[in-house]
Amino acid sequence: MHVWVLDEPVIGQACSSLVHTLSQDERQHAQAYRHEGDRNNFIARRSMLRWLIGVYLRSRPESLRFNVTRHGKPALQWPRGTRLAFNVSHTDGLALLAFALNCRVGIDVERQIEGIDFANVGRGIFSPVEESVLAAARPDSATAFLSIWTRKEALLKALGSGLLVEPASYTTEDAPALGEGRWHASKKGTRIAGWTCMDLGLGPEVQGALAVSLDDACVTLCRCSPSTWAENSSFETNLLSVI
């Protein structure tokens, strides 16, 4: 699977070069953001999403249509019947866009924020096992909190429910035997088998995680840059040869 990193230096450039691919609804959605930074982040990640899906499916970015599932997960409405799964996450000045075939995929990224009341934020969301991992990490529990939080969101975004449906019934736990940064998930004590779950090291004070319903998925991190979408670049050819 591919995880695309869209970061601050290219957000403005993606906005100006790709905004024309957005639908009327998406433009209205963008206008509803009060802060210019948030608006630009939305435009950049949504237009980059369109551009990349367009390459994967050999479709024009502006021809794609999205809808959302019952709990708000964006899905492709057109082209119909595609095998491409995707998910998006963002935090201040950084977005991750994940793509894979024939599976469910969820991704999350968060920046460390000072002064969070860790015990209360996770209440009702973390399982008893996760609560005990967090308690064991006190008083310096920021890293443990961020790790559990991003894993949990990645898993629940892959399942499509987000945090709405019984988040505390799922547990995410380290799985060092599977490799560095690997974790596994269970629901009410039963292991969710056949999934690849991993942390994404994205630099200091930024934590990412992804969950995908594929056994032993191979993940490639790709960085968005203007050459990604520049006309006449060999990028499309290279990408299509990878997939």
Ligand X SMILES: CC(C)(COP(=O)(O)OP(=O)(O)OC[C@H]1O[C@@H](n2cnc3c(N)ncnc32)[C@H](O)[C@@H]1OP(=O)(O)O)[C@@H](O)C(=O)NCCC(=O)NCCS
Question: By CB under 6 A, is residue 71 in contact with ligand X?
Answer: yes
**Residue number with CB closer to ligand X (28 or 233):** 28
Binding residues for ligand X restricted to 171-230, rule: CB under 6 A: none
CB of residue 110 to ligand X, shortest distance in Å: 7
Question: By CB under 6 A, is residue 50 in contact with ligand X?
Answer: no
Q: What angle do CA 201, 206, 212 make, to 5 degrees?
A: 55
**Residue span binding ligand X (CB under 6 A) among the ranges 1-9, 16-24, 39-47, 133-141:** 39-47
Residues 6+ apart with CB under 8 A from 9: none
State which residue has the least CB distance to ligand X: 162
Choose among 229, 236, 224: nearest CA to 3. 224
Distance between CA atoms of 36 and 17, rounded to whole angstroms? 17
Distance between CA atoms of 4 and 45, rounded to whole angstroms? 10
**Residue span binding ligand X (CB under 6 A) among the ranges 13-21, 52-60, 67-75, 201-209:** 67-75
Distance between CA atoms of 10 and 19, rounded to whole angstroms? 13
Choose among 159, 122, 147: nearest CA to 198. 147
Residues 6+ apart with CB under 8 A from 182: 174, 175, 176, 196, 197, 198, 199
**Residue span binding ligand X (CB under 6 A) among the ranges 124-132, 156-164, 219-227, 232-240:** 156-164
CB of residue 159 to ligand X, shortest distance in Å: 8
- Of 10, 108, 171, 224, which one interacts with ligand X (CB under 6 A)? 108
Q: In residues, how long is the chain?
A: 243
Question: By CB under 6 A, is residue 122 in contact with ligand X?
Answer: no
User: Which string of x and - marks every residue 72-91 that binds ligand X (by CB under 6 A)?
Assistant: xxx------------xxxx-
CB of residue 206 to ligand X, shortest distance in Å: 13
Choose among 76, 54, 79, 96: nearest CA to 207. 96
Residue with structure tokens 């601050």?
Answer: 8
Residues that bind ligand X (CB under 6 A): 42, 45-46, 71-74, 87-90, 106, 108, 153, 157, 160, 162-164
